[in-house]
Structure 1
């Protein structure tokens, strides 16, 4: 019997088989369409029939569309929002037809005023993850995508009249001390903590009293960016500063509910911005984000200013590959004018005899 919809409570279900030339190719079905109208149920039957016939005629690995691959994927709410415009654009495309070049062309169409880094992060990466998840589960083609190169990035920056990848200014000891002198105890401790441990802002604001082990001078930092949660050792002074802070219960800005007590008193990773700008104005120093002051400052302080080898610094900052922080988080601090002046200085001439030997 071909697929037939029937009402069960307030939701339409289907029963029967999907047939091709009088021969059943999929079924038997007895499942919900999740539709509350008969029209919606027939739409479900049409889509399911097309999918199963493609599987029958082409093989499952070549029959899946992007929209089918999303059904196999379990995105976070943030990734799901990023995938919605991509789904509208290529949802009906077969996975075998989607190429890296196609994904890269979605950026100018969906986010014309964004940078190539944003295109890569919010369009290409989540779409590629959906496709390669289907490859692991169903054997569909694996997709590799080449990153936008510097010529594509520069061309997009000219079109939108805005530069991307602006060089960050890392924090240093003088900035941290000036900031802490003008700040309240909570923000001062948080700035010092991130500068000392290379913790990300979301990791710092998530610390609760149970994450402190005073006897061992350890602080638990939550998992993030593919790295597991871990305990980091802090200085004696840092631990004393953390223990002196009475935990605060921040308010959730979206729901209005009172959250569990936190060491630094913030409930979100963006809540610090306004306060930090005020502190920087009061201290007479340029504003630095928590990421620039802490994580960038940490690596530059160790490698550039103190000469610690990059492997040791990367391990201390929880980078798995030292090449990454060397290319992003290490900022040169040489005076460019001093470098240019070297070319104006007469080099020391080595005295030689007529026969070319060096004179002693």
Structure 2
């Protein structure tokens, strides 16, 4: 349903085709559909953490190491990241220009000095257009499309001995969970840093709880310290005597 709706909306915006409203499944319809397919439609994503990022980078080449660090640090989408050109870097300000996407305008975002050093150390590459075979403009990370990284990342993850994560959980999911859940940054600040206009959206989708459920249940079995003496029948009798 989601891909079909996206295609219809995109065709309407680009070609002016009739706008058809596609009604999404409600909760119960989605559960029934999942049973018929034998597959969950909404799978819980695993966000990247610092340990995963470092293991990935140790096994990766400089371009992919910088790419995953850039998305983890800035919450940039994969298409925004791979579209970076040399002119999109402002080294003296430690800022990077990311293109408009998902209703958000083009903007200059701040990066750490270490991140900027990594970006500047990458000789720009001119990727080849898969459809035309022609060379494209030079890109910072060397990829020509938002899907070109997949095969390489799977190889890197296998070499590093870590589970494969695609760009979205490694970047945006990892970014928000790292700040809000692990470091305790308030959601409003984290949402602004990740360029979400409404902090409720990333809290609902991108913040992943990491507390062990068994630990939560064990809290109900913890003995509480009592501030008063327990009155037993014998003690009451002694007090009367």
Q: TM-score, normalised by structure 2?
A: 0.88
- Describe the shift of the 1:129–1:351 C-alpha distance in structure 2 as closer, same or farther (beyond 3 A): farther
> Equivalents in 2 of 1:185, 1:255: separation in Å?
28
- In structure 1, distance between residues paired with 2:48 and 2:18: 43
User: What is aligned with 2:234?
Assistant: none
Distance 1:119 1:150, change over 3 A: farther
Deviation at 1:253, TM superposition (A): 1.1
1:44 counterpart residue number: none
Question: How much is the aligned-residue C-alpha RMSD, in angstroms?
Answer: 2.3
Structure 2 CA distance for aligned equivalents of residues 349 and 162 of structure 1 = 50
Q: Give the length in aligned residue pairs.
A: 230
Aligned to 1:108: none
Matched, 1:279 2:156: yes
CA distance in 2, matches of 1:209, 1:160: 46
1:127, distance to aligned residue in structure 2 (A): 8.6
Alignment of 1:114-193 (within 5 A): 116-122=1-7, 125=9, 147-193=24-70
* Alpha-carbon shift at residue 159 of structure 1 (Å): 1.3
Q: What are structure 1's unaligned runs of at least 5 residues? A: 1-115, 136-142, 355-360
Q: Distance in 2 between matches of 1:121 and 1:269?
A: 17
Which ranges of structure 2 fall in alignment gaps of 5 or more residues? 232-241
CA deviation map 1:139-158 (0-9, x unaligned): xxxx9776421111111111
1:343 is aligned to 220
1:318 paired with 2:195, answer yes
Radius of gyration: which is bigger? 1
Answer whether contact 2:11 2:17 (CA < 8 A) is retained.
Answer: no
Between the aligned partners of 1:271 and 1:239, the Cα distance in structure 2 is 23
Residues 5 and 22, structure 2, Cα contact 8 Å, conserved in 1: no
Decide which of 168, 175, 178 is 1:301's aligned counterpart: 178
User: How many angstroms does 1:341 deviate by?
Assistant: 1.4
Counterpart in 1 of 2:238? Answer: none
Match of 2:169 in 1: 292
Closer, same or farther: CA 144–284 of 1 in aligned 2, 3 Å:
closer
Measure, in 2, the Cα distance between the counterparts of 1:341 and 1:150: 31
SS at match of 1:219: strand
Distance in 2 between residues matched to 1:147 and 1:127, nearest whole Å: 18
Q: 1:242 & 1:271 partners in 2: Cα distance?
A: 19
Match of 2:80 among 200, 203, 213: 203
Q: Relative contact order: is structure 1 or structure 2 higher (C-alpha 8 Å, sep ≥ 6)?
A: 2
C-alpha distance in 2 between matches for 1:245 and 1:331: 33
Given the two structures, how large is their TM-score scaled by the length of structure 1?
Answer: 0.60
Distance 1:202 1:126, change over 3 A: closer
